[in-house]
Amino acid sequence: MRWVQGLNDVLLDAWAKQGATVESIEHAYLGGTVLPLPCLNEQGAIVAFLDRETAKIDALVEEQRRLVALLKEKRQAVISHAVTRGLNPDAPMKPSGIDWLGDVPAPWRVPPLK
């Protein structure tokens, strides 16, 4: 399985059915493929190494996903703060008259959207 994963693009090109209107794998090409087959001890060592290394990569990918989610939250918070509180943190505030909005910078108007 790992051999196929590692050579995915090359093997799919070699196994692809030529001239078909629908992409498929030519079973004769697939069945005629030769592959290197190390002894069982070497296979076990390769599997253990790949499992270990891919687990590390998967953990890093998950951490990156978590960081991206946090950055999206930060982005939303920055946008929300800028459009409801302005850019000057020391600006005097006044009630907006809208419960969910709260206070807005004193120079701002709060007209209906219409």
Span 11-32, pLDDT tens digits? 888 888 776 577 777 788 878 8
Residues 63 and 89 placed together within one structural domain of the fold: yes
User: Is pLDDT above 60 for 75?
Assistant: yes
Provide the number of structural domains found in the chain: 2
Contact between 16 and 23 (Cβ < 8 Å): yes
The residue behind tokens 């920055």 is 78
Residue 109 is which amino acid?
R
Q: How far apart (Å, rounded) are the C-alpha atoms in residues 114 and 97?
A: 17
Q: Does residue 89 register a pLDDT over 80?
A: yes
76: containing domain: 40-107
DSSP structural state of residue 94? E
Identify whether residues 46 and 10 lie together within a single domain.
no
Residues 50 and 7 reside in one and the same domain? no
Length of the chain: 114
Q: Is 23 left (phi over 0), alpha (psi -120 to 50) or beta?
A: beta
Do 30 and 84 belong together in one domain?
no
Query: Does residue 113 belong to any structural domain of this protein?
Result: no
Please report the pLDDT score of residue 20 as a whole number.
Answer: 56
